[in-house]
Amino acid sequence: MKLLHLSDLHIGKIIYEQSLLEDQEYILKEIIKIAKKEKVDAVLISGDIYDRSIPPADAVDVLNDFLNKLIKILKIKVFIISGNHDSKERLNFGSKIFENDGLYIQTTYNGKITSIELSDKINIYMLPFIKPIEVKQYFETEKIDTYNEAIKLIVDNEKIDENKVNILMAHQFVTAGNKSPETCESETTLNVGGIENVDSSNFDKFDYVALGHIHGPQRIGKDTIRYSGTMLKYSFSEANHNKSAVLINIKNNKSVEYKLIPLKPLRDMRVIKGPIEELLNKENYKDTNTQDYIKAIITNKEPVYDAIGQIRRVYPNTLSLEISNIKSSIQNVELENIEELKQKDEFELFDDFYEFQNNIRLDDEQKKIIKDIINRSICR
Ligand SMILES: [Mn+2]
């Protein structure tokens, strides 16, 4: 039996005013190819299906297409739990009806973790993203303040048949002892080291835990408790991630093996850095995909005219531009006292200001220009 573990699709995501829908559609087609080639029996999607609780109509279309191809054409079962970005009510629409066709959606906790028999030897436990407050009503005598207390009670309350292979889907901030997962900028609502932590030891009874919430693919505590990570990079802090889906192979209804299948995007997301002349030199970019999403860091000492326009002529999908020169490395700036400042004339003040900004003094030509300007304006 083979399963494909995904999470955090964030369909409909927009970064720097750029819709990623075309990229998402492309990578979902790649995922369908993988599912077909590997002959997977089920796809698990561990939360954050959409990027927003009210997804745009074209995002709904893209998910609809993806599910249709998997379920109707390839006859692959799909299991979905809601993440913190999803609206429980909206994502839950039709869930009871869809089960007949092999689409299982779970968006609430009702006092027990919903479990579905994938076969008579394999159970899929579906635990959507939940907050401690949603759990309290089921354990009235217990103290539940933290996420860890909530999840511990939920799992301890389950009768898990250890003679079967038990897979858990969850969408939480899972830590292992004092070790937190590696995070990045696109996970907007995380409090690292806070009350959201859920310890991985709570999941010891499960043979594999398919996690969502953290966007970098990684193991937590052990190899079989994993974040699949996002299918695409969703921030420049992920430029060095290698995105993947997890292929889980359950052998003889017993042992669980896994392997990471790389996901190759339509456009990569990467950071380029250097003086603008170098970034625009064909020798330096001719072997790269100039359609990639780019963050350009320009290191020229002097101001560059229309830097974003120049960069976009080579890299049309430049989303972010940063100027990083010596002025950002100024340290230990001491302000002169106000009396000293009052003694200075316009030119001296500008001269100081320029040095403060750029960490170098005006050269002779620049001095002449500034003096001219000041003289002219004073005469008027
Ligand atoms: Mn997410």
Question: Cα(29)–Cα(287) distance, rounded to whole angstroms?
Answer: 26
Cβ neighbours of residue 235 under 8 Å, at least 6 residues apart?
A: 15, 184, 185, 186, 215, 269
Distance 286 CA to ligand 1 centre (A): 34
Mean of all residue pLDDT scores within the chain: 92
Is residue 107, in this structure, part of any structural domain at all? yes
CA 124 / ligand 1 centre spacing (Å): 21
Assess whether 35 and 51 both reside in one domain. yes
The answer to whether residue 113 sits within a structural domain is yes
Please tell me whether residues 147 and 33 are part of one structural domain.
yes
**For residue 192, what pLDDT is reported?**
54
| 255 and 311 share one domain | no
Averaged pLDDT, 249-254: 91
The pLDDT, as a whole number, for residue 357 is 74
pTM to 2 decimal places? 0.86
**What is the rounded CA–CA span in Å between residue 167 and residue 210?**
7
What is the model's pLDDT at position 344? 87
Q: Give exposure, 173-198, as e/b (b: 16+ Cβ within 10 Å).
A: bbbeeeebbeebebbeebeeeeebbb
Residue 187 covered by a domain:
yes
144 plus 243 within the same structural domain: yes
**Is the pLDDT confidence value at 329 over 80?**
no
CA of 212 to the centre of ligand 1 (A): 7
Report the separation in Å between the CA atom of 334 and the middle of ligand 1, taken as the mean of its atom positions. Answer: 43
Burial class (CB in 10 A: 0-12, 13-18, 19+), 67: buried
- 364 shares its domain with 239: no
What percent of the chain has pLDDT above 90? 78
So what's the pLDDT on residue 141? 84
CA–centroid distance, 3 to ligand 1, in Å, is 21
Distance 214 CA to ligand 1 centre (A): 6
Report CA(8)–ligand 1 centroid distance (Å).
Answer: 4
**334: confidence class by pLDDT, cuts 50, 70, 90:** low
User: Are residue 208 and residue 319 in the same domain, yes or no?
Assistant: no
Domain final position from 262, 280, 304: 262
Q: Looking at this protein, which amino acid is placed at residue 312?
A: R
Q: Does the pLDDT of residue 44 top 60, yes or no?
A: yes
Number of domains composing the chain = 3
Q: Out of 222-226, 332-336, 362-366, which region has the weakest mean confidence (pLDDT)?
A: 332-336
Does residue 358 lie in a domain region?
yes
Query: Do residue 54 and residue 192 come from a single domain?
Result: yes
Determine the structural domain holding residue 314 and report its residue range: 269-324
C-alpha 372/C-alpha 209 separation (Å) is 71
User: Within a domain: residue 330?
Assistant: no
Q: Which residues contact 97 (CB under 8 A, 6 or more apart)?
A: none
Distance 50 CA to ligand 1 centre (A): 9
262 pLDDT above the threshold of 70: yes
> Is 42 inside a domain boundary?
yes
Range name among 182-186, 317-321, 340-344 with the lowest pLDDT average: 340-344
Summarised one tens digit per residue, pLDDT across range 143-192 is 999 999 999 999 999 999 999 999 999 999 999 988 888 888 888 655 55
247: CATH: 3.60.21.10
Instruction: Judge if 91 and 227 occupy the same domain.
Output: yes
Indicate the residue among 298, 324, 350 that finishes a domain. Answer: 324
- Judge contact between 18 and 232, C-beta under 8 A: no
Kindly state whether residues 288 and 308 are assigned to the same domain: yes
- Residues 300-311 have a mean pLDDT of 92
Q: Is residue 141 part of a domain?
A: yes
370/44 Cα distance (integer angstroms): 65
14 with 60, same domain: the answer is yes
SS3 23: helix
Q: Residue 234 Cα, ligand 1 centroid: separation in angstroms?
A: 10
Residue type, position 342, single letter? K
- Mean pLDDT throughout 4-32? 98
Q: How confident is the model at residue 305, as a pLDDT?
A: 92
* pLDDT score recorded for residue 333: 53
Tokens 């779970």, located at residue: 106
Q: Residues 309, 256: one domain?
A: no
Q: pLDDT band for position 328 (50/70/90)?
A: low
d(CA 117, CA 100): 13
Q: Judge whether 240 lies within some domain.
A: yes
Domain boundary residue among 262, 281, 299? Answer: 262
* Same domain, yes or no: 250 and 228: yes
State the alpha helices, DSSP H only, in 185-337. Answer: 276-279, 282-285, 307-314
Which of these, 243, 241, 208, 244, lies nearest to 226 by C-alpha position? Answer: 208
Residues 6+ apart with CB under 8 A from 33: none
Tens-place pLDDT, residues 205-234: 999 999 999 999 999 999 999 999 999 999
Taking the centre of ligand 1 as the mean of its atom positions, its distance from the CA of residue 17, in whole angstroms, is 19
For residue 48, is pLDDT > 80? yes
Mean pLDDT throughout 329-341?
65
CA torsion sign for 239, 242, 244, 248 is negative
Look at residues 306, 301, 300, 305 and name the one whose alpha carbon lies nearest to residue 279: 300
Classify the C-alpha dihedral 167-173-178-182 as positive or negative. positive
Ligand 1 centroid–CA 48 distance in Å is 5
pLDDT tens profile 107-150: 999 999 999 999 999 999 999 999 999 999 999 888 999 999 99
